[in-house]
Amino acid sequence: MDGTQKLNIAIIGGSIAGCMSAILLGKGGHNVSVYERSRKGLVGRGGGVTTSRTVLDQMKAADILDADFPSSPYSELQLSKVSADEQQFGRCPLTRALDMNCVHWSGMWENMRKRVPDAVYHNDMTLTEAHDNGTSVRLEFADGTTREVDLVLFADGYNSLGRRLLFPDHPLVYRGYTVWRGVVPERDLIREPHLEIHPRFSLRSSKGSFISYMIPSREGSDAVGDRLFNWACYFPLPEADLPDFMIDNAGEARVGTIPAGAMRPEQDNALKAMIREQLPSFYADIIAQSQNNQIQQIYTSDLPAYRKGRMCLIGDAGIMVPPLTGAGVFKGFTNARDLAEGLNADDPLDEILEHWSVKQTRVARSMLAMGYDMEDAFIWNTIDLATEPPEACAHWFDRSIRIAKEFSYFAA
């Protein structure tokens, strides 16, 4: 195709990756339609999202986000653990420089969503089938609607229908641990300098870790007192225990996530009791106040490619990497940006898509390798940060994690 040929493109999934794709491809003059299965707007998805200042600046330059879209920047990670001498705040024998910016998930999505015209964003549209005939793709939806398009981008998240259709022999792999997370309004907390740091605590007597950081309010305020204290605890959970663990407060079995407000009170309280035993008292006291918390199982996937024919994968619909990497926004943005740029080339569409797929696969596998290293270092085999000297901790960190050259929130 040449740079003047415009495509009819369907984007399956209207979350962050879907909106980024719609914005960038729409700017390229393509006819874009977004199909989102949720009936209403996507609200309350988690709390904080991390990326780098570099990626955030690139998104603003591309007019995906407002130039003044707020974030909470962090320049240092403190690796810590509660110790016999440091019961309130924990011992920190090691720091690492960061280029990390933390944002509110819903605030980011809403800032992007306003750039996608309502006329092309279709809620309550659940895709059931997609058939690639070589020159177009026929889409079938649950309500009986059909569409014929030139190209389909699956941006439908970790449990992607697109991934299952394109690569049925590459299922998600459960990683053996779970994230329990929540947010606490800053106005409900006593002002203390430790609120301003970004720690990663290993747990006192269990595998796993805990992180916290501030994020702006959903409304976009990063003023002290308006922000949210975002926290997440990663802890082991055997796969055999998932069926019993993943029952919500209505007695319904959940797969993958228990959303905010749906956890059983006794389950939430049991995890708060566990945290009381594992963290410094300052953080345990904050988590005790946290309400409407949520659960997320951690899965990964490795794929041979990001496309088959005229069907492509975007964001978490592609190769799934551990959230420890903070690479989700980066992957979605670069997938969409590289495709939009590639479609301007004077090359056959199949060659453009194949070149794009090869690059996305290579970069995602680099993220995946870094994520596996971070899992091993931060979940399963953390050095004893309560007792080991700083030199030993530094050596452990540097030999444990291979920082990906394509993206990392660690400073260069």
pLDDT digits (tens, 9 = 90+) for 124-161: 999 999 999 999 999 999 999 999 999 999 999 999 99
pLDDT at 5: 77
Q: Check if the beta carbon of residue 173 is closer than 8 Å to that of residue 252.
A: no
When divided into structural domains, the chain yields a total of 2
- CA-CA distance, 330 to 316, in Å (whole number)? 11
292 with 305, same domain? no
On whether residue 94 sits in a domain, the answer given is yes
pLDDT at 304: 98
- With a pLDDT cut of 70, the percent of the chain lying above it is 98
238 with 155, same domain? no
pLDDT of 44 above 60: no
On whether residue 67 sits in a domain, the answer given is no
pLDDT of 15 above 60: yes
**Confidence tier at 2 by pLDDT (50, 70, 90):** low
Domain housing 137: 8-47+107-171+301-375
250 with 326, same domain? no
pLDDT of 41 above 90: no
On whether residue 56 sits in a domain, the answer given is no
Q: For residue 261, what is the domain's CATH number?
A: 3.30.9.60
- CA-CA distance, 219 to 238, in Å (whole number)? 38
pLDDT at 1: 56
120 with 90, same domain? no
86 with 36, same domain? no
Q: How confident is the model over 227-254, as a mean pLDDT? A: 98
- CA-CA distance, 267 to 411, in Å (whole number)? 38
pLDDT of 42 above 80: no
367 with 396, same domain? no
- CA-CA distance, 315 to 262, in Å (whole number)? 26
Beta bridge partners of 9: 32, 151
200 with 291, same domain? yes
pLDDT at 43: 61
Please choose, from the candidates 183, 185, 210, 214, the residue with its C-alpha nearest in 3D space to the C-alpha of residue 199: 210
On whether residue 366 sits in a domain, the answer given is yes
On whether residue 135 sits in a domain, the answer given is yes
Residues 6 or more apart whose Cβ sits within 8 Å of residue 77? 95, 96, 97, 98, 100, 198, 199, 200, 410
pLDDT at 80: 98
On whether residue 333 sits in a domain, the answer given is yes
277 with 250, same domain? yes
Across the chain, what does the average pLDDT equal?
96
- CA-CA distance, 310 to 177, in Å (whole number)? 35
The predicted model scores a pTM of 0.95
149 with 22, same domain? yes
Helix (H, G, I), strand (E, B) or coil at 162: helix
On whether residue 269 sits in a domain, the answer given is yes
On whether residue 408 sits in a domain, the answer given is no
Backbone angles phi, psi at 316, to 5 degrees: -70, -5
Kindly state the tokens that stand for 247: 């029952």
Please choose, from the candidates 105, 5, 110, 44, the residue with its C-alpha nearest in 3D space to the C-alpha of residue 342: 5
Tell me the CA distances in angstroms from 402 to 45, 90, 308, 373, 410, one per residue in order. Answer: 30, 27, 30, 7, 11
Q: How confident is the model over 297-312, as a mean pLDDT? A: 98
- CA-CA distance, 122 to 365, in Å (whole number)? 32
Q: For residue 364, what is the domain's CATH number?
A: 3.50.50.60
396 with 365, same domain? no
46-55, 103-112, 326-335, range with the lowest pLDDT: 46-55
242 with 229, same domain? yes
pLDDT tens-digit series, residues 220-236: 999 999 999 999 999 99
228 with 239, same domain? yes
